[in-house]
Structure 1
């Protein structure tokens, strides 16, 4: 007996249903990664052993006095030649006692995420000094207004799981005002977990006061910190940076979780060989972990080992290369093998325009980092021009790309229902196709992601619609968001209190 066709909804009803949020999101953030393993178990052990040898025998240089004292008290050794040696036992103790999982809080609790394990989240990073202007399509210096606008824009994008300021307000010359106004832009315009950097340790306490106001009162931020710090306490090759180390101490004092970022460059500040690079970079990031351990064991730290690549012919940074893809994937694999919450970088395209190069480089590096299981994948939204630029259209396009990647990570659920033996028999003996079957309708929303920007029309339909490219479609969408999304995440009283205490340089965002 032929299967009875399923009565279909009218076209307008189907379009309205598609426009609404699906009852089942086929590709939410936090999908499991770790299936791509560029390193064998033997490779992992050899790289780790070499990193241990570097720390135990070469050690770290330029160690600030306070950190030097804390390291020696914990079992480190002074080699008498200006370097502090970190014995294997101390490194392994730091790994053993490190925070393996912790929550990055959003001011909206529903936007919090847990870091660690095998879950993958895309977010932002970067310090772009130029913005790809949404009107001219050319680059200009980034401004404080841009930072407010980027923060508002990403607040609507589901696949930016946390927001680190993506650009530097070059129109704010004073470093303290820059740090304050950056923090203000974040808390005013989003309730996601956020992150920023502190130029000096002395800036931390005042900004915590600003965060307390946003959180509801004195001490409230530290109870549930919704901002993390991006710090690079190690300068490659194999030495500490005093100002950044001071920031680490101050952040720990105020209970600010941190990403300690190592950003060596292959062939410049680290070996050009990929294996040697991974060994040195791992050693440097482990040195950051030991530093945090001797200050406060188990303090939340994202183990952020970011391998960066340069073009050895010119010295230019190249963020969209195959080497960048495999190195960051390997870094994620190493961190996860050690059981540490991993942070890596991707989507650092060298393209200046939103073009084919942009898509190739972002897709390649994002997929590799996600498949390898990077817990937090930085730089993954909106960055262009080898991290020198940020793009509003890029944010929108990357958000759609990440949905496709999450769908790929989700994989295939093999169940009796999904195998559908009876449905296959019914279709073969009945209509001869699956277009009207209940199984097809059930899978349509549950198993498939439907892009809003990518064009799937026939050429004639595309031509009739204006023959637009994805850059122009993303520009239209970004403008719509910026024109309509004006969140008020600070009450009038909170905003007034912040303005009374600080020099807020922009009245309206």
Structure 2
């Protein structure tokens, strides 16, 4: 009986081939919330203490502009210089927060629907050093590292967004660093990018770059593929 040619080879190729999108068991935006390691009472205790800390402890080292903006909204500046957030202010802010939005990618296939309890994964951080496995040492992170990390994320199926991972310390000027941070990220991946800027004035030139990449200002406004990330609070409860 003649042997069938290519049967085993075809089966191996089929097993090695990536799954079609329609039958993948894990995809971006699966509904979360099923894993509940804490009891409802435990969750409530954490929430209550968060509200208590914001209203009783507050934040130190707020800038004049921050104080003016927050007190106008209902925050309280104490004699000790700490800016406190009453529970009513926090609740009102949470109610006004945007929900059911889409974070666009340069490639529409990488759009992230944030409605409901959908779950996505992203990188994060602003590392200033890199573990160099070839030289077996820690060194300053560089622009090339940032670009390389973005390229890696672009090929990682289960990382859905690239939040800039490191600071290009080989660019000492803050203006040039902000522009090159953005450039390395958006050139490295077609997924949604999160970045930050040292000063507001640096954003204007960044928009010029983004408009060029998107094909025009109207195209950018229709599908903005970069978010600004702000985290100005650091331990122990003070502004950076």
* Normalised TM-score (structure 1): 0.42
Match of 1:148 in 2: 147
Q: Is 1:165 the counterpart of 2:164 in the alignment?
A: yes
Match of 1:348 in 2: none
CA distance in 2 between counterparts of 1:124 and 1:101 reads 21
Q: What secondary structure, in the 3-state scheme, does the structure 1 residue paired with 2:88 have?
A: helix
Conservation of the 8 A alpha-carbon contact between 1:208 and 1:221: no
Match of 1:315 in 2: none
Q: Is 1:138 the counterpart of 2:136 in the alignment?
A: yes
CA distance in 2 between counterparts of 1:144 and 1:61 reads 33
Report 1:164-243 matches (<5 A).
Answer: 164-218=163-217, 220-241=219-240
Conservation of the 8 A alpha-carbon contact between 1:155 and 1:189: yes
Q: What secondary structure, in the 3-state scheme, does the structure 2 residue paired with 1:11 have?
A: helix
Q: Is 1:20 the counterpart of 2:3 in the alignment?
A: no
Return the offset for 1:238. Answer: 2.3
Q: Is 1:80 the counterpart of 2:109 in the alignment?
A: no
Return the offset for 1:219. Answer: 5.3
Return the offset for 1:203. Answer: 1.8
Name whichever of 114-123 and 40-49 sits farther off: 114-123
Return the offset for 1:92. Answer: 1.0
Instruction: Please tell me the root mean square deviation across aligned C-alpha atoms, in Å.
Output: 2.3
Match of 1:55 in 2: 54
CA distance in 2 between counterparts of 1:218 and 1:88 reads 40
Q: What secondary structure, in the 3-state scheme, does the structure 2 residue paired with 1:147 have?
A: helix
Match of 1:108 in 2: 107
The number of equivalent residue pairs is: 231
CA distance in 1 between counterparts of 2:171 and 2:111 reads 31
CA distance in 1 between counterparts of 2:224 and 2:110 reads 13
Task: Structure 1 unaligned segments of length 5 or more: list them.
Answer: 1-8, 242-509
CA distance in 1 between counterparts of 2:169 and 2:17 reads 39
Conservation of the 8 A alpha-carbon contact between 2:31 and 2:118: yes
Match of 2:69 in 1: 70
CA distance in 2 between counterparts of 1:156 and 1:47 reads 37
Match of 2:37 in 1: 38
Return the offset for 1:209. Answer: 1.7
Report 1:314-393 matches (<5 A).
Answer: none
Q: Is 1:89 the counterpart of 2:98 in the alignment?
A: no
CA distance in 2 between counterparts of 1:85 and 1:169 reads 35
CA distance in 2 between counterparts of 1:42 and 1:117 reads 23
Distance 1:151 1:85, change over 3 A: closer
Task: Structure 2 unaligned segments of length 5 or more: list them.
Answer: 1-5
Q: What secondary structure, in the 3-state scheme, does the structure 2 residue paired with 1:60 have?
A: coil
CA distance in 2 between counterparts of 1:71 and 1:208 reads 28
CA distance in 1 between counterparts of 2:82 and 2:169 reads 37
Return the offset for 1:46. Answer: 2.1
With CA pairs under 8 Å and 6+ residues apart, which has the higher RCO, 1 or 2? Answer: 1
| CA-to-aligned-CA distance 1:402-435 (integer Å, 9 cap, x gap) | xxxxxxxxxxxxxxxxxxxxxxxxxxxxxxxxxx
* Normalised TM-score (structure 2): 0.84
Distance 1:144 1:44, change over 3 A: same
CA distance in 1 between counterparts of 2:188 and 2:33 reads 33
CA distance in 1 between counterparts of 2:119 and 2:186 reads 24
| Greater Rg over alpha carbons, structure | 1
